[in-house]
Amino acid sequence: MSLIATVRPEDAEGDIKNGYDLFVQRGLDVPTPFRLFSASPGIFNLMVQRNRYYSNHPNLSFSLLTHIRYFVSKRLDCMICREHNKKLLLMQGLEEADIEHMGMDPEKSMLEPNECMMVSFVLRAMDAPDSISKQDLDELHAAGWKDWDILDALAQGVGMIDHHIFIQVFKPDF
């Protein structure tokens, strides 16, 4: 049993319904973190704003962002988030075999080389933040990324940590 009261998609109204509709209208289930954050309208609205920001990002593609979340959720062993992002990868045209082949190696993904570089950077930055140097950023810049792209990509990965912790704490059963 979930330890926190949340709004079920069929009971959603107002801002919560509008936020849920971002997924429902695309034929997706409402992701578990969104359901959990529905317990706090203020935090929920921040999540919606964040989602809209990333969905309109001029440089970070939907595929890149999905790969970041997928790899990070695998590293965190967050099955709920991993399965949600795996579903998004499948919707983008990847096959189960592609995802299996990819394993934990962004270089085996079907992303562009500069996107693979970004995913690798995010994973390394999260695993060993002190290992990141100016040379790493110089390489990303040389691949066409701006500072704000790098920060935004890392924020996408780091944001998976709070989702994972909320799921562990509140034990959603939906």
Query: Given this model, what pLDDT does residue 82 score?
Result: 97
In this structure, what token pair is assigned to residue 49?
Answer: 């704003």
- DSSP code, position 30: P
In this structure, what token pair is assigned to residue 153?
Answer: 């990509």
Per-residue pLDDT of the chain (174 residues; tens, 9 = 90+): 899 999 999 999 999 999 999 999 988 999 999 999 999 999 999 999 999 999 999 999 999 999 999 999 999 999 999 999 999 999 999 999 999 999 999 999 999 999 999 999 999 999 999 999 999 999 999 999 999 999 999 999 999 999 999 999 999 998
The CA-atom distances, in angstroms, between 21 and each of 17, 41, 73, 119, 170 are 6, 15, 24, 28, 23
- DSSP code, position 9: G
**To which CATH superfamily is domain 62-170 assigned?**
AhpD-like (1.20.1290.10)
Phi, psi of 68 (to 5 degrees): -60, -50
pTM of the predicted model as reported, rounded to 2 decimal places:
0.95
Q: What CA–CA distance (Å, rounded) separates 102 from 105?
A: 6
Break the chain into its structural domains and give their ranges. 9-55, 62-170
In this structure, what token pair is assigned to residue 141?
Answer: 């810049």
Query: Given this model, what pLDDT does residue 1 score?
Result: 83
CB 124 within 8 A of CB 139: no
Q: What CA–CA distance (Å, rounded) separates 29 from 125?
A: 30
Rounded to 5 degrees, what angle do the CA atoms 123, 160, 25 make? 120
Query: Given this model, what pLDDT does residue 105 score?
Result: 96
